[in-house]
Amino acid sequence: MFEIKNVSMIYDMDSDEKMYALSNVDLELPERGLVGIIGPSGSGKSTLMYCLSTLKKPTEGSILYKGEELTALTPAKREMLRRQKFGFIFQKHYLVPYMTAFDNCVVSALPGDPEAAERAKSMMSRLGLREKEFKKRPAKLSGGQCQRVAIARAMINGPEVVFADEPTASLDHENAFNVMRVLREYAEEHLVLVVTHDRSILQDADRIIEIWDGRISAIKDAER
């Protein structure tokens, strides 16, 4: 589904010494499954994810998504792709503080989607949030609850790909486990990419990509 060819990303192009956040990465990703990207801090995990999701444009190389060259898309087309096909989860939940949990979730729905409200409710319920929490603002919810709202929001349009950058890093063990359970379930029919430096959350991953100093150092497929 993704074909990444010879992708490099250099930050700080002006300085004498070039900083390669990614160097000559080749990679193919399947249409569905839970894929972990693991590596130490600063190894280029987020950069790789942001290049794949069109939030960043690599300095060099080609990224095909379903045969379409992402690096050649106009900004408007990139935004459309992100809105319609991709879902994003970050370490911080980035909920809007003055909106209820429910509104935070529905606000990301595509315009004119008549089923968005129902889907938001069922998604939040599946994530273990109760009706009384739907009406609360983020300040009245726990960190784990906020992150679950953010996950429901990321999935409101049924994205083909979910990009999760350290989604469990600010959660306790139990909440982290619940979040991974939901992502695991979604990955049965979609592609879920999870960036982390914590191997323990990837025990059910279909594939683990190890990254070191901007290079892929290993790819391991699970026997499932």
Ligand X SMILES: Nc1ncnc2c1ncn2[C@@H]1O[C@H](COP(=O)(O)OP(=O)(O)O)[C@@H](O)[C@H]1O
Q: Which residues bind ligand X (CB under 6 A)?
A: 11-12, 21, 39, 41-47
Per-residue tokens: 31 = 């249409």
Out of 23, 46, 100, 157, which residue is the one contacting Mg ion (CB under 5 A)?
Answer: 46
Q: What share of the chain is helix, strand, coil (3-state, %, to 5)?
A: 35, 30, 40
Single out the segment in contact with Mg ion by CB under 5 A; choices: 29-37, 42-50, 80-88, 110-118. 42-50
Which of 41/74 has CB closer to ligand X?
Answer: 41
CA distance 165 to 210: 15
CB of 164 to ligand X, least distance (A): 13
- Under 8 Å between Cβ of 180 and 204: yes
44, interface contact from ligand X, Mg ion, none, CB < 5-8 Å by kind: ligand X
Residue 100 CA: distances (Å) to CA of 28, 131, 201 = 39, 12, 29
148, interface contact from ligand X, Mg ion, none, CB < 5-8 Å by kind: none
Single out the segment in contact with Mg ion by CB under 5 A; choices: 30-38, 40-48, 62-70, 100-108. 40-48
42, interface contact from Mg ion, ligand X, none, CB < 5-8 Å by kind: ligand X
Which of 30/42 has CB closer to ligand X?
Answer: 42
CB of 40 to ligand X, least distance (A): 7
Strands (E) across the chain are located at: 2-11, 19-29, 33-38, 60-65, 68-69, 86-89, 161-165, 191-196, 207-212, 215-221
Per-residue tokens: 116 = 């968005």
In a 13 Å sphere around the CA of 192, the CA atoms on its Cβ side amount to: 28
Which of 12/221 has CB closer to ligand X?
Answer: 12
Using CB atoms, what's the residue nearest to Mg ion? 46
Q: Does 157 bind Mg ion (CB under 5 A)?
A: no
In a 13 Å sphere around the CA of 143, the CA atoms on its Cβ side amount to: 13
Scanning the structure block, which residue is given the tokens 């049965």? Answer: 188
CB of 192 to ligand X, least distance (A): 17
CB of 44 to ligand X, least distance (A): 4
Interacting residues toward Mg ion by CB under 5 A = 46
